[in-house]
């Protein structure tokens, strides 16, 4: 009751602060700006917040907060557009939404998927805020209970979701996840700074690959290329009736699922260090595990949209806990948020340990501004979803160049080097092959996302535990096997057992026919070769940096065993076995164009960018693509190109970004945007 | 020879106060930045002390630069800040819209001949040098065992765990200090920022930690008030003669020098001490600096120098900077130049000692 005595007056204050016309006005402004930026994959809240930061200084604290929060809150809502309509994971928050959202769009149910997603987002956001209002008062000691072994176990729990998403051949899923982890270890080791699969001569790889590039490459590029080869619209049938109301009804029918996933979102979001990158996978896994009929997951089950979307907005609320209470941001956008709050109060409001004690009313204002922004954002998104969903009916050859422009621009934001585009292309090629041979791409992505935390927490937990054991056996055991760890181990084991038992029914990426033996075997051998190379590369890390050697060696060993078993199976099994899945044969009748011809278009964009810079290359690419591949007139192509270039330049100018330069630019000085 | 080296810096510190408000600029030579956007590159992530420092200065700088350009802080983390610095090295002066904020973690790899360093401080033009300090703190139970004057002797048998960003970073200064006191400190590497190190301390996994002054003020002070953390020593500050004296932000805390004197087996002279002091001077009293790229004309340097002077001449500067940065010298003009020299020119013996210590103690081999 004492809790309520402190909470209620502060809550009252908070609402008095929020419910003023000018505060709401700034909130709506922030939401609209956030939507405009969030719709584009890979940009997200960081770009938007950096944009606002200079204007924050001297602003009245509450209005400034409203503007900022409006912007942050809607990003996980608005990136759903890209996930559902194009199959592009807009941010780490909506990776799992792609799995069922995009197949729904293909079936002409885009509006339904979108509105179900938005309704879930809204609900998740509100549940998150309500939960936080109480929880934030008690959160501090609970958050501190999550020590390194607990964080490690949550990471492993996240990895166990691979079990559900592994596809028909569990071993392939396992190897895919290991491959993802190994790709995640590329670069400088966190522990001793040893280089893995990289060299100082190629500084790009030293920092490893970024999620934006891997997410776009592994999901977006294969889908775009596949659609382009079929030369139709995204949706292969006329839109179903009912539209957005149907989606809201779907959400209502699954409100308890939505509730559970929201709570998963808040709780995982609260824990600092994981950054919410696992939340949507855990929610998706939970959704699948608790569903009675699992046959439709991966080919357009609306529950597969509701689960992750309920969790990802709730996560934003949960993420406020480490941000506000400890001053430790759970994500890049939260980090900028901290800086901005410091600017707002001119130092009087300092995010961190003193926030609750001194500024409880502000804390509540932030929590409920977030909830309110969700409401506003969702209403705008639902209103727009019917119209935007029509994008899926446009002939894809006209949409694709535009998408490639956006994706390249987004990828380039990762490091602002031409290598970003090379990496995107390389990972994209891997994604295309994985899609073709039915290797689980979600498993790969989970592995990649969790690679760094898995290694970091393993090393740290090992080191700290060793020190505890030196002090006494009991102390060491107590540290490693805390009650939370034991509970997490049980949950993880259950999840793996249930997952493996059901994995055969769940085809996260639809069913795939089997074909000849040769092509799948070659791909498997190529993957085995890469893993073997990684093994060798890690093995030569000298002893003084052994902490950077253990993890990749361990993962590569597991993967190599998996590969060996797969090779044996391939030799024993007949051609019709699922292990030889090859999408190329299945889609042979639907494909109008060859794979390599289609890829050559994009390779040429890349090569031309390296030569003459992105904008000039893009202009040529758009013009020629629309003229020859889409078969439109020169006039049409010219107008398309002009609009495209103007659009991308406008966006870059607003965000203050440059484009990749080519060799030409190192010789001649050109004015922006050609620089 | 160390005293010789300290002297210029010490002078710089004295001069700094006098510098504030001086006209460094001849009329009509200022560059005009109206309608432009100044990009301030910070080679770290958004969470660290450098981010706080840049975010503090950015809006103030925008007000004082001619034409009031928007000042945007861009974060370019990677490879322990050498990535951003290498990037900046590749830039040439264009129109004065790009500036770079370095930190001690950029200076140290440079001093230690890290193979990733492709930058040269001598090429850049310093326009601001901000000092800071650092505080080492302990959990209350361990701090209670300390002897008189912070004597570390009672803690010699303790197993210490420290969340570290890497032995070649600024962490080198506290790690070497603790080692000189005889403590058994095992650094747990792979921490992403000092904030994560503090969280590890709060969770009870780490039982020793240090924070730079501004992070200590915002992050650890509440813990001290709650009784879970107790400050042990500050690294100190330099006086006009280059001696280590108490940090003006924490006048009640003993300095490392005092604690070292109180602890048997820790000497405030000799090789180890000289090396510690050299790296402390390189890392803290001129920790964060703002640079214009190679080839910047006098007018641009003068414009920025003038703007930073004007920021410090604000009536409320003392008040707003105290809470955000602590009370430390903010040097411009020739004082900044001198600070830069003492921060980047460390005697070879000190470098050799540290390089040798890193390889023997942590197996870190640079090259």
Model pLDDT, residue A588: 72
Do A134 and A7 contact (CB within 8 A), yes or no? Answer: yes
Cα angle A384-A386-A387, degrees, rounded to a multiple of 5: 70
CB < 8 Å from A in window 224-283 of B:
none
Q: In which domain, by residue range, is A221 found?
A: 2-232+245-393+440-467+479-491
Beta bridge mates, B42? B75
Mean pLDDT over each residue of chain A, to the nearest integer: 83
Closest C-alpha to A178, from A434, A530, A444, A449: A444
Residue of A nearest to B69 (CA): A54
Q: State ipTM.
A: 0.80
The distance of A23 to chain B (nearest Cα, Å) reads: 23
A58 contact residues in B (CB cutoff 8 A)? 59
Confidence check: pLDDT of A268 > 60: yes
Do B237 and B191 contact (CB within 8 A), yes or no? Answer: no
Number of Cα atoms under 13 Å in the Cβ half of residue A653: 10
Structure tokens at A612: 């003459």
Which one is predicted more confidently, B310 or B239? B310
Q: Note whether A387 contacts B: Cβ–Cβ < 8 A.
A: no
The distance of B349 to chain A (nearest Cα, Å) reads: 24
What is the topology classification, in CATH, of domain B2-131+285-349? D-Maltodextrin-Binding Protein; domain 2 (3.40.190)
Average the pLDDT over B342-348 and give the result: 84
Question: Does some domain include residue A511?
Answer: no
**Max Cα–Cα distance, chain A, nearest Å:** 79
Confidence check: pLDDT of A1 > 60: no
CA–CA dist A353, B139 (Å, integer): 16
Confidence check: pLDDT of A502 > 80: no
The distance of A338 to chain B (nearest Cα, Å) reads: 8
Q: Note whether B90 contacts A: Cβ–Cβ < 8 A.
A: no
Tell me the helix, strand and coil percentages in chain B, rounded to 5.
45, 15, 35
Contact A342/B324, CB-based, under 8 Å?
Answer: yes
Contact A207/B83, CB-based, under 8 Å?
Answer: yes
Do A473 and A210 contact (CB within 8 A), yes or no? Answer: no
Do A459 and A547 contact (CB within 8 A), yes or no? Answer: yes
Model pLDDT, residue A537: 92
Least confident of A277-286, A487-496, B89-98: A277-286
Which one is predicted more confidently, B192 or B223? B223
The distance of B323 to chain A (nearest Cα, Å) reads: 7
A142 contact residues in B (CB cutoff 8 A)? none
CA–CA dist A633, A542 (Å, integer): 61
Our separate counts of H helices and E strands in chain A read 32, 2
CB burial of residue B329 (10 Å; 0-12, 13-18, 19+)? buried
Residue B47's pLDDT band, with cuts at 50, 70 and 90, is low
Do A192 and B168 contact (CB within 8 A), yes or no? Answer: no
Residue A325 DSSP code: I
Question: Does some domain include residue A159?
Answer: yes
A/B interface, count of CB pairs below 8 Å: 127
Question: Does some domain include residue A523?
Answer: no
Residue B67 DSSP code: T
| Residues counted in chain A | 675
Residue B162 DSSP code: E
Question: Does some domain include residue A421?
Answer: no
CB < 8 Å from B in window 325-364 of A:
326-329, 332, 335-336, 338-339, 342-343, 346-347, 350, 352-354, 357
Residue A435 DSSP code: H
Which one is predicted more confidently, A559 or A154? A559
Which one is predicted more confidently, A360 or A415? A360
- Identify whether residues A607 and A487 lie together within a single domain: no
Confidence check: pLDDT of B149 > 60: yes
Model pLDDT, residue A42: 62
- Identify whether residues A174 and A308 lie together within a single domain: yes
DSSP, collapsed to helix, strand or coil, labels residue B194 as helix
Pairing of the two strands B237-238 and B70-75: unpaired
Residue B127's pLDDT band, with cuts at 50, 70 and 90, is very high
Contacts of A106 (CB under 8 A, 6+ apart): A234, A235, A236, A300, A392
Scored b (16 or more CB within 10 A) or e, A321-360 reads bbbbbbbbbbbbbbbbbbbbbbbbeebebbbbbbbbeebb
CA–CA dist A112, A302 (Å, integer): 8
Which one is predicted more confidently, B230 or B196? B230
Beta bridge mates, B238? B244
Q: Note whether A191 contacts B: Cβ–Cβ < 8 A.
A: yes
Residue of B nearest to A203 (CA): B83
Model pLDDT, residue B175: 95
Residue A529's pLDDT band, with cuts at 50, 70 and 90, is very high
Average the pLDDT over A337-344 and give the result: 72
Question: Does some domain include residue A20?
Answer: yes
Model pLDDT, residue B292: 94
Residue A201's pLDDT band, with cuts at 50, 70 and 90, is confident
Q: What are phi and psi of B69, to 5 degrees?
A: -70, 160
B74 contact residues in A (CB cutoff 8 A)? 50
Which one is predicted more confidently, A454 or A510? A454
CB < 8 Å from A in window 137-176 of B:
159, 161, 166, 168
Which one is predicted more confidently, B325 or A459? A459
pLDDT digit string (tens) for A630-674? Answer: 888 999 999 999 999 998 888 887 776 778 888 888 787 777 777
Pairing of the two strands B98-102 and B288-292: antiparallel
Q: Angle of helix A279-290 relative to helix A303-321, nearest 10 degrees? A: 140
Confidence check: pLDDT of B25 > 50: no
Residue B46's pLDDT band, with cuts at 50, 70 and 90, is low
The Cβ of residue B246 has, within 10 Å, a number of other Cβ atoms equal to 19
Which one is predicted more confidently, A31 or A326? A31
Average the pLDDT over A487-499 and give the result: 85
Closest C-alpha to B136, from B255, B258, B288: B255
Q: Is A346 left (phi over 0), alpha (psi -120 to 50) or beta?
A: left
Q: What are phi and psi of A311, to 5 degrees?
A: -80, -35
DSSP, collapsed to helix, strand or coil, labels residue A656 as coil
CA–CA dist B20, B2 (Å, integer): 28
Domain boundaries, chain B: 2-131+285-349, 134-282
Q: Note whether A470 contacts B: Cβ–Cβ < 8 A.
A: yes
User: What residue spans of A79-147 are helical by DSSP H?
Assistant: 80-86, 97-106, 110-145
DSSP, collapsed to helix, strand or coil, labels residue A673 as coil
Q: Note whether A475 contacts B: Cβ–Cβ < 8 A.
A: no
Closest C-alpha to A424, from A212, A170, A168: A212
DSSP, collapsed to helix, strand or coil, labels residue A87 as coil
Which one is predicted more confidently, A507 or B228? B228
- Identify whether residues A602 and A483 lie together within a single domain: no
Specify the residue for token string 């006191």. B181
Contact B73/A53, CB-based, under 8 Å?
Answer: yes
Residue B22's pLDDT band, with cuts at 50, 70 and 90, is very low
Contact A545/B190, CB-based, under 8 Å?
Answer: no
Cα-Cα-Cα-Cα dihedral sign, residues A445, A450, A455, A456: positive
Closest C-alpha to B355, from B183, B180, B112, B34: B112
Contact B199/A343, CB-based, under 8 Å?
Answer: no
Do A590 and A599 contact (CB within 8 A), yes or no? Answer: no
Contact A464/B161, CB-based, under 8 Å?
Answer: yes
CB < 8 Å from B in window 223-242 of A:
none
Beta bridge mates, B130? B288, B330
Structure tokens at B191: 């921490």
CB < 8 Å from A in window 306-335 of B:
320, 323-324
Model pLDDT, residue A2: 60
Structure tokens at A62: 């509450």
Average the pLDDT over B53-64 and give the result: 87
Q: Rounded to a whole number, what is the distance in angstroms from the first to the last CA of chain B?
A: 28
Q: Note whether B69 contacts A: Cβ–Cβ < 8 A.
A: no
Scored b (16 or more CB within 10 A) or e, A616-642 reads bbbbebbbbbbbebbebeeeebbebbe
Interface test with A, best of B112, B192, B195 (most A CBs within 10 A): B195
DSSP element (H, E) containing A519: helix A518-539
Question: Does some domain include residue A435?
Answer: no
pLDDT digit string (tens) for B182-222? Answer: 999 999 987 777 888 888 999 899 999 999 887 888 788 88
- Identify whether residues A310 and A176 lie together within a single domain: yes
Tell me how far CA of residue A431 lies from CA of A148, A218, A439, A523, in angstroms.
Answer: 33, 4, 9, 12
Task: Identify the CATH number of the domain defined by range B134-282.
Answer: 3.40.190.10
User: Which span out of A161-170, A184-193, B298-307 was modeled with the highest average pLDDT?
Assistant: B298-307
Model pLDDT, residue B7: 46
A329 contact residues in B (CB cutoff 8 A)? 46-47
Contacts of A93 (CB under 8 A, 6+ apart): A75, A76, A79, A276, A279, A280, A312, A315
Q: How many structural domains does chain A have?
A: 2
DSSP, collapsed to helix, strand or coil, labels residue A592 as coil
Q: Do domains B2-131+285-349 and B134-282 have the same CATH topology?
A: yes
Cα-Cα-Cα-Cα dihedral sign, residues B91, B97, B102, B107: positive
Confidence check: pLDDT of A260 > 50: yes
Specify the residue for token string 């190897």. A175
Model pLDDT, residue A235: 74
CA–CA dist A502, A448 (Å, integer): 24
pTM listed for this prediction: 0.84
Do B183 and B152 contact (CB within 8 A), yes or no? Answer: yes
Question: Does some domain include residue A95?
Answer: yes
Average the pLDDT over A147-156 and give the result: 88
Average the pLDDT over A513-521 and give the result: 80
């Amino acid at each position: 009751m004492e809790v309520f005595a402190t909470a209620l007056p502060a809550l009252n204050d908070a609402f008095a602060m929020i419910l003023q016309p000018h505060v709401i006005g700034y909130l709506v402004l922030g939401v609209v700006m956030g939507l405009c930026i969030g719709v584009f994959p890979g940009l997200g809240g960081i770009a938007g917040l950096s944009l606002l930061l200079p204007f924050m200084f001297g602003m009245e604290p509450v209005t400034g907060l409203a503007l900022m929060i409006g912007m942050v809150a809607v990003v996980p809502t608005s990136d759903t557009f890209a996930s559902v309509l194009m199959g592009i994971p807009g941010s780490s928050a909506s990776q799992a939404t792609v799995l069922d959202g995009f197949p729904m769009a293909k079936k002409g149910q885009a509006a339904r998927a979108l509105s179900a997603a938005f309704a879930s987002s809204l609900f998740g956001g509100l549940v998150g805020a309500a939960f936080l209002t109480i929880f934030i008062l008690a959160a501090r000691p609970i958050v501190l209970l999550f020590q390194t072994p607990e964080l490690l176990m949550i990471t492993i729990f996240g990895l166990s979701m691979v079990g559900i998403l592994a596809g028909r051949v569990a071993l392939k899923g396992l190897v895919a996840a290991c491959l993802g982890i190994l790709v995640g270890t590329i670069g400088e080791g966190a522990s001793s700074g040893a280089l893995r699969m990289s060299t100082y001569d190629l500084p790009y790889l030293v920092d490893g690959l970024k999620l934006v590039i891997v997410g776009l490459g592994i999901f977006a590029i294969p889908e775009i290329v596949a659609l382009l080869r079929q030369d139709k619209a995204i949706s292969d049938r006329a839109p179903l009736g009912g539209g957005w109301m149907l989606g809201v009804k779907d959400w209502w029918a699954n409100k308890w699922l939505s509730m559970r996933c929201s709570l998963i979102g808040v709780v995982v979001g609260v824990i600092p260090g994981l950054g919410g990158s696992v939340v949507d996978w855990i929610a998706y896994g939970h959704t699948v595990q608790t569903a009675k009929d699992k046959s439709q997951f991966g080919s357009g089950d609306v529950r597969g949209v509701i689960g992750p979307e309920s969790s990802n907005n709730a996560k934003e609320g949960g993420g406020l806990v480490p941000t506000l209470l400890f001053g430790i941001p759970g994500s890049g956008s939260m980090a900028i948020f901290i800086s901005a709050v410091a600017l707002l109060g001119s130092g009087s409001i300092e995010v961190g340990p003193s926030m609750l004690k001194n500024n409880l009313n502000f804390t509540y204002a932030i929590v409920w501004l977030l909830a309110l922004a969700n409401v506003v954002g969702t209403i705008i998104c639902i209103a727009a979803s019917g119209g935007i969903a029509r994008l899926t009916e446009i002939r894809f050859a006209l949409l694709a160049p535009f998408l490639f422009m956006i994706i390249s621009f987004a990828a380039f934001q990762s490091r602002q080097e031409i290598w970003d585009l090379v990496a995107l292309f390389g990972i994209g090629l891997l994604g295309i092959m994985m899609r073709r041979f039915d290797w689980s791409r979600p498993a790969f992505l989970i592995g990649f996302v969790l690679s760094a935390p898995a290694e970091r927490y393993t090393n740290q937990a090992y080191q700290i535990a060793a020190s505890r054991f030196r002090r006494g056996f009991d102390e060491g055991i107590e540290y490693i096997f805390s009650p939370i760890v034991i509970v997490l181990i049980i949950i993880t084991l259950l999840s793996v057992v249930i997952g493996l038992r059901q994995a055969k029914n769940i085809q996260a990426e639809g069913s795939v026919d089997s074909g000849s033996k040769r092509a799948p075997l070659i791909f498997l051998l190529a993957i085995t070769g890469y893993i073997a190379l990684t093994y060798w590369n890690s093995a030569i890390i000298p002893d003084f940096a052994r902490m950077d050697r253990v993890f990749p060696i361990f993962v590569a060993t597991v993967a190599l065993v998996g590969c060996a078993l797969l090779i044996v199976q391939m030799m024993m099994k007949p051609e019709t076995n699922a292990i030889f899945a090859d999408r190329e044969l299945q889609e042979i009748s639907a494909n109008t164009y060859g794979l390599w011809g289609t890829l050559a278009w994009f390779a040429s964009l890349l090569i031309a960018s390296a030569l003459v810079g992105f904008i000039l290359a893009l202009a040529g690419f758009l013009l020629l693509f629309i003229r020859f591949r889409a078969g439109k007139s020169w006039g049409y192509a010219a107008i398309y190109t002009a609009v495209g270039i103007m659009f991308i330049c406008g966006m870059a100018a607003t965000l203050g970004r440059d484009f990749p330069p080519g060799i030409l630019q190192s010789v001649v000085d050109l004015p922006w945007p050609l620089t | 020879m160390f005293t010789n080296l300290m002297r210029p810096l010490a002078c710089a510190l004295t001069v700094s106060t006098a510098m504030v408000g001086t006209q460094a600029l001849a009329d009509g030579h200022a560059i005009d930045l109206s309608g432009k956007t100044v990009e301030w590159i910070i080679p770290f992530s958004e969470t660290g002390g450098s981010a706080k420092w840049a975010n503090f200065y950015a809006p103030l700088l925008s007000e004082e630069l001619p034409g009031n350009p928007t000042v945007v802080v861009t974060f370019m983390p990677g490879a322990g800040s050498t990535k951003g610095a290498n990037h900046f090295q590749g830039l040439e002066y264009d129109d004065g819209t790009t500036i770079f904020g370095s930190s001690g973690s950029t200076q140290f790899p440079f001093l230690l001949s890290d193979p990733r360093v492709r930058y040269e401080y001598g090429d850049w033009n310093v326009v601001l040098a901000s000092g800071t300090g650092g505080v080492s703190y302990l959990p209350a139970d361990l701090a209670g065992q300390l002897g008189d004057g912070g004597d570390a002797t009672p803690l010699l048998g303790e197993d210490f765990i420290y969340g570290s960003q890497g032995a070649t970073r600024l962490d080198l200064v506290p790690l070497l200090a603790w080692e000189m006191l005889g403590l058994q400190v095992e650094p747990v590497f792979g921490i992403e920022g000092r904030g994560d190190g503090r969280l590890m301390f709060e969770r009870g996994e780490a039982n020793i930690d240090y924070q730079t002054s501004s992070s200590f003020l915002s992050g650890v002070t509440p813990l001290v008030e709650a009784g879970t953390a107790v400050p042990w020593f500050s690294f100190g500050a330099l006086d006009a003669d280059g001696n280590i004296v108490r940090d003006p932000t924490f006048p009640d805390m003993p300095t490392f020098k005092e604690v070292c004197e109180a602890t048997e087996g820790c000497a405030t002279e000799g090789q180890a001490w000289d090396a510690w002091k050299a790296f402390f001077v390189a890392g803290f009293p001129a920790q964060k600096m703002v640079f214009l790229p190679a080839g910047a004309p006098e007018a641009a340097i003068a414009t920025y120098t003038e703007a930073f002077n004007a920021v410090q001449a604000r009536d409320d500067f003392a008040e707003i900077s105290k809470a955000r940065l602590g009370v430390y010298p903010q040097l411009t003009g020739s004082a900044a130049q001198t600070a830069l020299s003492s921060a980047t020119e460390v005697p070879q013996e000190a470098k050799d000692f540290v390089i040798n210590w890193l390889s023997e103690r942590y197996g870190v081999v640079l090259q």
